Amino acid sequence: MHGRTRTAAKPDPARVAAENRKCAQFAGLAGAMLRKHRAGARDGETLALNDSLLVVNPDVATWWNWRRLYIASGAGGGHPLEAELALTAAALRKNPKSYPTWAHRRWAVERLALAGGGSGAAVLAGELELCASALKLDERNFHCWGYRRWAAGAPGSAATPESELAFSREKIAANFSNYSAWHLRAALLSSPSRGGGAPSPWAEEAALVRDAIFTEPDDQAAWWYQRFVLSKATAATLAAEAEQVGELLQLEPECRLAAAMLADMLARLADVVGADKRDDVNKARRWLHRRLVRLDGLHAGFHAVRWAGVA
């Protein structure tokens, strides 16, 4: 780069030798684990060997599957499920996005909460705290978000839709680009458990997402959520938000996302406005079509087809 040749770094022989020894040791442990499993060993030594493998590589789903078999068979004289929480916590520090680790933790927590009687709520509360801590390190870890959603909705959990909405709002305030937090709001507000008598939240949600798009107009996350919100909102709310997006487009004339959203809004409004206003709406759509072709030349063909009826 910049006229300078790149030279390959010379490997450190001592470091290479140390890595080779680690790999050989790990391969030996994996081989021993396989031999024990094939022999039908279901003792504490087998479980300990499984431990040592999973803290190094928690992404091997087979080892977690074997572990559940060992525990179910009574390996180690009745292995405490609390130990599984410590093991999975260590594995998640190794890889916070490990699918089989989150699945195993859920398996353990489900059994702890069911067997714990009155302590089930405390177990689930601890899981929510774990998720909150993990999301401070990586606020868009969708594995953790999915697990939190399960823990919050599990029988015995003290979490409520209101508390989870407040949590998602806190995360959105910290980062408007948090797709998982927006998704949680969509899932909670669309849930049938809210009841038919609950007040419509969509006007309030439209105001929330409006703050996001005016602050970060080039961030797609808020625009996707606004599309969802407006699919639920009344025609009056849709018209009000279309006016707001039009104002944003005046402030940010090069914002492709605002132009695309306004075009979609006007397409919906064209079906509900009176005949006296339909020509004005379609005129604005034609103008937006030309603007989108200029702003988003890479997808000019798409826009030509999508707005063929008004071009």
* pLDDT for 6 beyond 80: no
Give the dihedral sign, CA 167/169/175/176: positive
Over residues 115-138, mean pLDDT: 87
* pLDDT for 117 beyond 70: no
* pLDDT for 131 beyond 60: yes
Window from 11-15, 103-107, 216-220 with minimum mean pLDDT: 11-15
% of the chain beyond a pLDDT of 90: 53
* pLDDT for 115 beyond 90: no
Q: What is the pLDDT of residues 13-71, one digit of tens each?
A: 777 677 778 787 778 888 888 898 899 888 888 888 999 999 999 999 999 999 999 89
* CA distances to 68, 103, 282, 289 from 309, in Å: 59, 49, 9, 11
Look at 161 and 297; give whichever has higher pLDDT: 161
Q: Which of 277, 275, 283, 307 is nearest to 293 (CA)?
A: 307
Q: What is the DSSP letter of 7?
A: -
Q: What is the structure's pLDDT at 308? A: 57
The three-state (H, E, C) secondary structure of 123-189, written as one string: HHHHHHHHHHHHHHHCCCCHHHHHHHHHHHHCCCCCCCHHHHHHHHHHHHHHCCCCHHHHHHHHHHH
Over residues 249-274, mean pLDDT: 86
Q: What is the pLDDT of residues 64-99, one digit of tens each?
A: 999 999 898 887 666 788 899 999 999 999 999 999
Q: What is the pLDDT of residues 198-213, one digit of tens each?
A: 678 899 999 999 999 9
Rounded CA separation 159/153 (Å): 7
pLDDT band at residue 270 using 50, 70 and 90 as cut-offs? confident
Report residue 290 as tokens: 């030309």
Domains contained in the chain, CATH given: 200-311 (1.25.40)
pLDDT band at residue 1 using 50, 70 and 90 as cut-offs? very low
Highest mean pLDDT among 243-252, 260-269, 294-303 belongs to 243-252
- Residue 135 makes CB contacts below 8 A (sequence gap 6+) with 141, 144, 145, 148, 171
**Count of CB atoms situated within 10 Å of the CB of 39:** 9
Q: What is the structure's pLDDT at 213? A: 95
* pLDDT for 265 beyond 50: yes
Over residues 145-162, mean pLDDT: 93
* pLDDT for 116 beyond 70: no
Look at 218 and 293; give whichever has higher pLDDT: 218
Window from 95-99, 141-145, 267-271 with minimum mean pLDDT: 267-271
Look at 195 and 144; give whichever has higher pLDDT: 144
